[in-house]
Amino acid sequence: GDKRLEELNVADTTCGYCAVGCRFDLYSDGEEILAARPTEAEDAPVNGISTCVKGKFGYDFVNSDDRLTTPLVRDERGEFREATWDEALSRVVEGLGSIQEEHGGEALSVIASSKATNEENYLMGKFARQVLGTNSVDNCNRLCHSSTVAGLAKTYGYGAASISTDDLEIADCVLLTGSNTTEAHPVLATRIKQNVRDGADLLVFDPREVQIAEYATQYTRVNPGYDAVWINAITRHIVNNDLYDEAFVEERTTGFEAVREAVQEFTPERVEEVTGVPHEEIVSAAETIADADRCVFGWTLGLTEHSHGTENVMAMANLAAVTGNLGKPGTGVSPFRGQNNVQGGGGDMGPLPDNFPGYQDIADDEIRAKFEEAWECEISPEYGYYTTQMFLAADDDDLRGMYIIGENAALSEPGVNHAEDILEELEFLVVQDLFVNETAQYADVVLPACSFVEKTGTFTNTDRTVQMVNEVMEPKGDSQPDWEILQALANRMGREWSYDSTAEIMEEVNSLTPLYGGVTHDRVESEGGLQWPCWDEDHPGTERLYADAFNTDDGKAHLQAVGYSEPAETPDEEYPFTLTTGRVLYQYHTGTMTHREEGIMQYTPSDFIEINPDTAANYGIESGDMVRVTSRRGEIVVSAQVTDRVGPESVFIPIHFAESAVNRLTDEEHLDPAAATPEFKVSAVRIAPDEGD
Ligand code: SF4
């Protein structure tokens, strides 16, 4: 534009797309977001001056024509019409209130949003428990890393990355699995690649030869669904050949003998048969890890989105512990979190059916009493429903009303044909979002929220760093930040909330959540980010977990023997291929934001299926042909991309598109027993050239 930079609004803020947590200065002119520029280096601990296309250019959605700027309610004919806040909120109070009166608060649930700030997610949990009287509050973490959280909590004590992002750059070896790092976490990939250029080893185990595999010192293709098998095989080679860290195992772990015994069943023959990995590749990976002084183990949803994802994670946790790779610079485990604030808003802030903020168990009487006193309400010790279970519970009328905030459940749930039926049948549904997304089509009332550029608060990124989000423009139209909407509703439903700012909400979090005891806005602002645990005002925050002790009763890592599990659904004659799903660089989740970016839509405008050249030849399919893909739960038609990125037994479809909604094919019923995560990464399907109707 014609204006000089200094005449514009500027705010230093944290990216609202992925959980890498890049920071930059955002410039706006009134409503228009003009540019993202690097901020002071000390204020950008994760990215320095780097960003990716989403953080740099992904802002068209803010002013997109279909951005919601007023509340919507259904008229007599069932069509949406615009409404005042007063009318819309009255309808919500009436809708949720009458279910609460007739069937009790447990008949209601809240899906919170990992796109929203920590402060807002804290209030979403409080709203569910205090105002509605239900423990059924959950969020998208259920669909991704909840098995990481469960597996790491059980072994080490904290369901989070132990490392700081810098460790990816100082490790001698990085093992990556189930992570399309270049596309899903671009700035982390940049840092790993830099480390590889400087001589570090990079081991990539993945069913798809993802882009980062090009930089790997070893890329190994694995069959989807058997990750614990090859991980246990690596551990087996390490312990059987005395390559493990005896001192670390002795002093800092329990359960080693059981693990040593459990991994013996993963013999070279069996491992090769099940995972497709030749023994030499197990040996070379094991020796590279054992030789390295410092190794980081990184993963994304390829490891977790399984009916036994928690076991996969525990197998990885065992491997990191037996090799002594925890608590020191350049070592540790790093689940790369997806949503910008899924670590903080999705976990730490406790919009969870079983936990208060800071992973405090609701079944613990003392802890529950603390929250009952602070929130002036009674709280049931019974865990509520996980997101995935909400949709099953609604089948039996155990759940009748939902309040869904910033989550496109109609596309993101597994088995969406089923989820659509449930949304349709609910007695009352409130959706709070930036857009009338696919889920909002089923709503009785839609409340217009605003995006991260229009509000102030904090996000917590994938390495536990809490960072400021600062408003760079006023809320669009009549939209409001989630926290203000929740406060208005709480007050209409008989409570007295009187927060003037998100800083005040954070003070309440500080007082109730030991992990965040010293994480005040003032400190986050002046120190350029704070990593939890940060127990009090004087605590400096924690760069690396487990330097001295694990977060368990005896301070040791509790290794867990992990045996053999199969995916819930394996290929057979009728459905001979394994379908996996995932992300692409230029898109983001269900596309609510990125589909409104003209520049971004030029790159990956529509859905596709990756098919191996051999498979394609067998079926007479060429790139660009339309292919019908069928599972036991549904059918979609997508265009073919013939590529050897996938092996001959599997196919891949991205998750971002409504027209073809790959989750029509996935399975809503077989959930991880510990974490209730669905098995997005393995569905049996058949394919056929689509002849049209
Ligand atoms: Fe935003 Fe993630 Fe890209 Fe950084 S890497 S700019 S946090 S989307």
ipTM: 0.99
* pLDDT over threshold 80, residue 629: yes
> In a 3-state reduction of DSSP, which class is residue 568?
coil
Q: Is residue 654 very low, low, confident or very high in pLDDT (cuts 50, 70, 90)?
A: confident
Residue minimizing CA distance to atom 4 of ligand 1: 22
Tell which atom from ligand 1 comes closest to the C-alpha of 340: 7
- DSSP states along 41-106: GGG-TTTTT---HHHHHTTGGGG-TT---S-EEE-TTS-EEE--HHHHHHHHHHHHHHHHHHH-GG
**How far is the C-alpha of 314 from the C-alpha of 560, rounded, in Å?**
6
Residue of 8, 90, 30, 23 lying closest to 475 (CA atoms)? 30
Q: Are 389 and 416 in contact (CB under 8 A)?
A: no
Q: Which of 39-53, 226-240, 437-451 has the lowest mean pLDDT?
A: 39-53
Q: What is the DSSP string of 93-142?
A: HHHHHHHHHHH-GGGEEEE--TTS-HHHHHHHHHIIIIII----EE-GGG
Specify the amino acid at residue 346: G
352: CA distance to ligand 1 center in Å?
26
Q: Which of 49, 51, 469 to mutate to test the pocket of ligand 1 (most atoms within 8 A of CB)?
A: 51
Alpha helices in 263-339 (DSSP H): 268-275, 279-291, 301-304, 309-322
Task: Provide the mean pLDDT of the chain.
Answer: 90
Residue bearing the bigger pLDDT, 666 or 92: 92
Between CA 661 and CA 634 the distance in angstroms is 10
Q: What is the DSSP letter of 533?
A: P
Name the residue of 185, 465, 594 to mutate for ligand 1: max ligand atoms within 8 A of Cβ.
Answer: 185
Nearest to 180 by CA among 200, 205, 199, 198: 205
- Highest mean pLDDT among 222-231, 320-329, 638-647 belongs to 320-329
Instruction: Name the helix (H) or strand (E) containing 465.
Output: strand 465-469
**Residues with C-beta less than 6 Å from any ligand 1 atom:** 15, 17-18, 20-22, 47, 51-52, 54-55, 186-187
Provide the b/e sequence for 402-431 (b: ≥16 CB within 10 Å). bbbbbbbbbbbbbbbebbbebbeebbbbbb
Ligand 1 center from residue 591 Cα (angstroms): 16
The pick from 14, 15, 585 for probing ligand 1's pocket by mutation, whose C-beta has the most ligand atoms within 8 angstroms, reads 15
For ligand 1, the distance from its centroid to the CA atom of residue 604, given in whole angstroms, is 18
CA 185 to ligand 1 centroid distance, Å: 7
The rounded Å distance from CA 23 to ligand 1 centre is: 9
| pLDDT tens, residue by residue, 381-416 | 999 999 888 988 888 888 999 999 998 877 776 777
**Cα 44 to ligand 1 centre (Å):** 12
Give residues with Cβ within 8 angstroms of 665, minimum separation 6: 579, 629, 630, 631, 633, 634, 635, 636, 653, 683, 685
- How much distance in Å is there from the Cα of 7 to the middle of ligand 1? 26
Specify the amino acid at residue 555: G
Q: 570, 670 in Cβ contact below 8 A?
A: no
Residue 2 — pLDDT band, cuts 50, 70, 90? Answer: low
For Cα atoms 100, 106, 108, give the angle at the middle one, nearest 5 degrees: 65
Ordered structural domains, the chain, with CATH: 5-63 (2.20.25.90), 73-140+341-498 (3.40.50.740), 146-335 (3.40.228.10), 577-689 (2.40.40.20)
Distance 433 CA to ligand 1 centre (A): 21
Closest CA to 15 of 333, 338, 433, 484: 338
Instruction: Kindly give the number of the ligand 1 atom that is closest to the alpha carbon of 51.
Output: 6
The stretch 152-162 carries a mean pLDDT of 93
Query: How far is residue 350's CA from residue 542's CA, in Å, rounded to a whole number?
Result: 20
CA 465 / ligand 1 centre spacing (Å): 15
- Residue owning tokens 């696919």: 438
H or E segment to which residue 373 belongs: helix 365-375
With vertex at residue 102, the alpha carbon angle to CA 99 and CA 107, rounded to the nearest 5 degrees, is: 50
Written as six digits, the tokens of 122 are: 């804290």
The Cα–Cα gap between 180 and 192 comes to 13
Q: How far apart are CA 243 and CA 502, in angstroms?
A: 50
Q: Work out which ligand 1 atom sits closest to the CA atom of 55.
A: 6
The residue whose CA is least distant from atom 6 of ligand 1 is: 55
What's the token pair of residue 343?
């670590």
Instruction: Using pLDDT thresholds of 50, 70 and 90, give the confidence band for residue 224.
Output: confident
